[in-house]
């Protein structure tokens, strides 16, 4: 949907940016007390990771006229493909860029599920070469409402990936009433959609924050469900990342169901998503790697999380 207030602008409006403006490139809303890594802690850019990184959660920034060029630069440096979550209004520029740079940009349409012509919008996005929908958020009804089913039916027919916001959602305006509520976007709604529409790859953003357990269990029983850990969770959990082993608990047991590449590690149900602007991608990569270390995620599984799983879904080169 068209988001009248970008995340960055939202933070600026609430003073969060101003409070930490003196310490870039640390992300504006990182807690200053946490020992958050700086981008400078990363290995030099020439040390490209061994595999392609695929970022499921990059919002198109209509305020940045150089967005595509900036994205291509980062993509080249990190060997990264971005799923660009594109408002309907910006659909053409991203569709064209994706045709020109198919290994760098996967076009994903960010429609408003409550728009009266949403089905027509989705059909048009398909014609333009879009590969999925998302981030679906700020919905007026729960994700499983009957009125949204025609959209999911189309996504199922197209075999699309659909990224759902899950969990706590930001408040765009503190002074005006707004018809937005997190409960409509709880992680367990993704379960019903994934089961009724088995050709959809259902991706939940933010791992259902704070209902990680529901996200984990829904991912465990549904081969077509994955979650990203973008948002505040990896900051919030910085000092006890090992707790995510309680959420992704079934490694090596008989309780993991149809894991990607038959990987027995439960963390293979995660995918990489940054959701922090282009300048935040490397910082979130560092956070994911801290999670891997804290939870002893094996290298093979790390590769799936950081790109292998999504590369296969979208047919990207290794
Ligand atoms: Zn979100």
Residues 18-28: tens digit of each pLDDT: 333 333 333 33
How far apart are alpha carbons 1 and 270 in whole angstroms? 25
Residue 300: how many other CB atoms lie within 10 Å: 13
Phi, psi angles (nearest 5°) of residue 32: -65, -20
Distance 175 CA to ligand 1 centre (A): 21
Residues 59-73: tens digit of each pLDDT: 999 999 999 999 999
The structure tokens 């504006």 sit at 28
pLDDT of residue 27: 32
pLDDT of residue 257: 86
Q: Which residues pair with 136 in a beta bridge?
A: 164
Distance 252 CA to ligand 1 centre (A): 31
pLDDT of residue 47: 43
Distance 59 CA to ligand 1 centre (A): 10
Closest among 165, 158, 220 to 189, alpha carbons compared: 165
Distance 273 CA to ligand 1 centre (A): 10
Distance 44 CA to ligand 1 centre (A): 30
Distance 228 CA to ligand 1 centre (A): 10
How far apart are alpha carbons 128 and 109 in whole angstroms? 10
Residues 93-149: tens digit of each pLDDT: 999 999 999 999 999 999 999 999 999 999 999 999 999 999 999 999 999 999 999
Per-residue tokens: 61: 């920034």
pLDDT of residue 311: 97
Distance 205 CA to ligand 1 centre (A): 6
Domain boundaries, the chain: 46-314
Residue 183, CA distances (Å) to 137, 146, 162, 210, 279 in order: 11, 17, 19, 11, 30
Residue 100: how many other CB atoms lie within 10 Å: 11
Which class in CATH covers the domain with range 46-314?
A: alpha beta
Residue 264: how many other CB atoms lie within 10 Å: 15
Distance 47 CA to ligand 1 centre (A): 31
Residue 274, C-beta contacts closer than 8 angstroms, at least 6 positions apart: 55, 57, 58, 230, 280, 281, 283, 284, 285
Residue 227, C-beta contacts closer than 8 angstroms, at least 6 positions apart: 166, 187, 203, 204, 205, 206, 207, 208, 215, 216, 219, 269, 270, 271
Residue 240, C-beta contacts closer than 8 angstroms, at least 6 positions apart: none
How far apart are alpha carbons 17 and 15 in whole angstroms? 5
| One pLDDT digit (tens) per residue for the chain, 318 residues | 334 444 434 434 443 333 333 333 333 333 333 333 333 343 444 444 468 999 999 999 999 999 999 999 999 999 999 999 999 999 999 999 999 999 999 999 999 999 999 999 999 999 999 999 999 999 999 999 999 999 999 999 999 999 999 999 999 889 999 999 999 999 999 999 999 999 999 999 999 999 999 999 999 999 999 999 999 999 999 999 999 999 999 999 999 889 999 999 999 999 999 999 999 999 999 999 999 999 999 999 999 999 999 999 999 987
């Amino acid at each position: 949907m068209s988001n009248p207030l970008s995340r960055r602008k939202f933070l600026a409006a609430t003073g969060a940016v101003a409070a930490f403006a003196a310490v870039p490139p640390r992300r504006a809303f990182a807690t200053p007390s946490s020992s958050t890594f700086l981008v400078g802690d990363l290995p030099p850019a020439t040390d490209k990771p061994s595999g392609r990184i695929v970022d499921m959660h990059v919002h198109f920034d209509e305020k940045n006229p150089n967005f595509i060029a900036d994205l291509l630069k980062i993509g080249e440096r990190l060997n990264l493909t971005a799923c660009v979550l594109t408002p309907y209004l910006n659909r053409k520029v991203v569709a064209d860029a994706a045709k020109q740079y198919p290994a760098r940009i996967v076009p994903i349409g960010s429609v408003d599920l409550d728009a009266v012509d949403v089905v027509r919008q989705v059909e048009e996005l398909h014609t333009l070469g879009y590969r999925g929908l998302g981030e679906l958020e700020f919905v007026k009804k729960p994700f499983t409402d009957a009125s949204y089913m025609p959209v999911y039916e189309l996504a199922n027919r197209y075999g699309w990936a659909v990224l759902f916001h899950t969990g706590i959602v930001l408040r765009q305006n503190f002074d005006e009433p707004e018809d937005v509520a997190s409960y409509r976007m709880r992680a367990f709604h993704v379960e019903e959609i994934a089961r009724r529409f088995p050709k959809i790859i259902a991706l939940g953003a933010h791992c259902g924050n704070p209902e990680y357990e529901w996200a984990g269990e829904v991912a465990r029983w549904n081969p077509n469900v994955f979650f990203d850990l973008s948002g505040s969770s990896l900051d919030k959990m910085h000092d006890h990342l090992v707790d995510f082993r309680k959420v992704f608990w079934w490694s090596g047991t008989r309780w993991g169901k149809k894991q990607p590449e038959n990987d027995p590690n439960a963390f293979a149900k995660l995918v990489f998503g940054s959701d922090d602007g282009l300048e935040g991608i490397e910082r979130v990569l560092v956070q994911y790697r801290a999670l891997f270390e804290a939870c002893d995620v094996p290298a093979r599984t790390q590769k799936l999380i950081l790109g292998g799983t999504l590369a296969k879904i979208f047919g990207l080169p290794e």
